[in-house]
Structure 1
Amino acid sequence: MLPTAMPRLAHGPVVLRAFRDADAPLVRSVAGDPLIPLITTVPTSGTQVDALAFITRQHARLSEGNGYSFAIADAATDEAVGQIGLWLRAISAGRTSTGYWVGPASRGRGYAGAALRALSDWALSLDEVARLELHVEPWNEGSCRAAVACGFAREGLLRSWQQVGEERRDMLVYSRIAGEG
């Protein structure tokens, strides 16, 4: 049975935890990012009200059956630096997906890779999860390296896979299978 409460997961420099209202400054800080609001539900306004509404939506993901939305927090300070999710759209077939972002001020510190490792190790320990997928734009070499380092295998290129802003974008698909990685 999938957990009905948000777990707290740790790996190296990160803790994955539920979002808190105190994480609103992180959400506000990425509102103007050229990519994050295009591929997530992060608001572009940058207002406190909209940031808090984003956090409320993250809390609802689990109760609505959509998945688990974690704040990526620095293990030493508990300050939120990003977001990662385990999405359950195809859980009835044993398939899940993940995606993440890290705020620009915190990139290059190993947070994304540690968060991906924590999430994927936990997800693939659940009886219901046989496969975990990650879609990455081909230019995003850092995410490609993080995926491989966390035991994901590159499966191929999905042409014109996703609408991002005004255009269709290709995505590389990576997967990790229960019992591997």
Structure 2
Amino acid sequence: MAVSALMHSIAIRPYRVSDAHDVYAAISESIEQMSRWMPWCQSSYSVHDALNWLVEQESCRDRGTAYEFAITGPDGGYLGGCGINQVNREYRLANLGYWVRSSATGRGIAAHAVELVTQWTFANTDLLRLELVIAVDNQRSIRVAEKVGAVYEGVARSRLLLRQQPTDALMYSIIRADVAGGISGY
């Protein structure tokens, strides 16, 4: 399942165990900006945590329960991650998530990665729907969803748990027909 798609100077590829130090470095530089939205992004995060997560992702990919991708720049440098998880085979849907290291934000990288992962998903799985569940105050993530043409579906009350507090989330979706129909970004 090797994928290395190039678009606007970024590429996505399945994570490798050898990415552990790069993942750790990117998370370490991004804690201040990301910890509010990503409960796992804390100052206690270690290379060992990254390695454990990468090993788990190989297993998830083999089981078809998640497909996480590294986002890399033209020089191969690690920029962040984008992927699908919480795969529901019965309803053929999954969650789509993304993050970009702080030193690389504001350049459209997340939006391009979402486009690539979405295209990969609908070309390589039988999933029909991707959901983007975004905390109501996460303006950067909301802009990404809107930039790629994800369809806003409403507010899901207490949908997320951030810092142990129930948090409302905006629900966006991208369905297979959107990509085939050429919505914005596809």
TM-score by length of structure 1 reads 0.84
Point out where structure 1 has 5 or more consecutive residues left out of the alignment: none
Contact kept, 8 Å, 1:87 with 1:96, in 2: the verdict is yes
Task: Report which stretch shifted further, 80-89 or 48-57.
Answer: 48-57
Please report how far the alpha carbon of residue 63 of structure 1 lies from its aligned counterpart in structure 2 after TM superposition.
1.6
The answer on whether the counterparts of 2:31 and 2:42 sit within 8 Å (CA) in structure 1 is: no
| Residue identity (%) | 24
The number of residue pairs the alignment matches comes to 176
Q: Which runs of 5+ in 2 are unaligned?
A: none
Shift of residue 151, structure 1, vs aligned partner: 2.2
| Number of the residue aligned with 2:5 | 9
Q: How far apart are the structure 2 equivalents of 1:37 and 1:142?
A: 12
Task: Name the structure 2 match of 1:80.
Answer: 78
Give the structure 2 partner of residue 165 of structure 1: 163
Question: Greater helix percent: which structure?
Answer: 2
Q: TM-score, normalised by structure 2?
A: 0.82
Which of 88, 96, 107 is the equivalent residue of 1:90? 88
2:27 is aligned to 30
- 8 Å Cα contact 1:6-1:68 kept in structure 2: no
Q: Against the structure 1 CA distance between its residues 123 and 40, is the aligned structure 2 distance closer, same or farther, given a 3 Å change threshold?
A: farther
Q: Which residue number in structure 2 is paired with residue 52 of structure 1?
A: 51
Conservation of the 8 A alpha-carbon contact between 1:155 and 1:175: yes
Mean Cα deviation higher: 83-92 or 30-39 = 30-39
RMSD of aligned alpha carbons: 2.4
Q: Is the 8 A contact 1:156 1:172 kept in 2?
A: yes
Aligned-pair distance for 1:61? 2.0
